[in-house]
Amino acid sequence: MPVGSCTHVLWDFNGTLLDDLDVAVAAVSDMLVSRGREPMTRAWYYELMEMPIIRYYEKLFDLSQVPFETLSREFVEGYARHFSLARLAPGAREAVSRFAAAGCRQVVLSSFEQQRLLTILQELELADAFEAVLGAENIRSESKVGRAQDWLKQSGAPPDQVLVIGDLVHDWEVAQALGARCVLLSCGHQSYADLSRCGCPVISDLRELWQVIK
């Protein structure tokens, strides 16, 4: 996959461009501890994580007792409290710059709420690198497949020249739905064991990206 053969790059955000695993773990810990439960750990988080996020919450909470909307709101509040733990992922700025230099059109597709996503991208001084930022209209962290398909139709991008980069099995599902290629990162929100089952390249961070797309 030479860089020149990728006309479009579809980036995930959380866990891919933004290293925010510890933020999410801390936010979910708050939700558990407030209910008298043991705090979340990275290992437990990796064991349970699944998208859409409601499937993850179903493993942790009784949704007949605690509405999904309540959990979503609590997570967003906890995420904001612990956001200082987040950082730009290693190699992210360099990767975005390298794709831009190669003439690739880049888009962010995220389950993160749109306005918050735009704000963080601006704070990271990355917003101008993307021709579109496709965040969510709500805080429910639902499937990205439909929005990805809408983008592909509107963009006219050849599916086999689209590269999806993410950190979840769901990002691979997005790529599959588009007929696009995919590279996954094991430093984000899902374990290497889960990601490796997808059959696409899995790297430990973005600095290894060029080893698998040359």
**Mean pLDDT in residue range 164-191:** 97
Give the residues across from 10 on adjacent strands. Answer: 107, 164
Mean pLDDT of the chain: 94
CB count in 10 Å sphere of residue 82:
17
CA-wise closest residue to 188 among 11, 10, 18, 9 = 18
The per-residue pLDDT for range 12-47, each reduced to its tens digit, is 999 999 999 999 999 999 999 999 999 999 999 999
Banded pLDDT at 1 (limits 50, 70, 90): very low
With pLDDT > 70 as the criterion, what percentage of the chain qualifies? Answer: 96
- For residue range 75-126, list pLDDT tens digits in order: 999 999 999 999 999 999 999 999 999 999 999 999 889 999 999 999 999 9
Can you give the residue ranges of every domain in the chain? Answer: 3-20+87-213, 21-85
The CATH code of domain 3-20+87-213 reads: 3.40.50.1000
pTM over 0.85? The answer is yes
Residue type, 30: D
Q: Is 20 helix (H, G, I), strand (E, B) or coil?
A: coil
The first and second tokens of residue 165, run together, are 């980069």
Q: Tell me how crowded residue 170 is: count the other CB atoms within 10 A of its CB.
A: 22
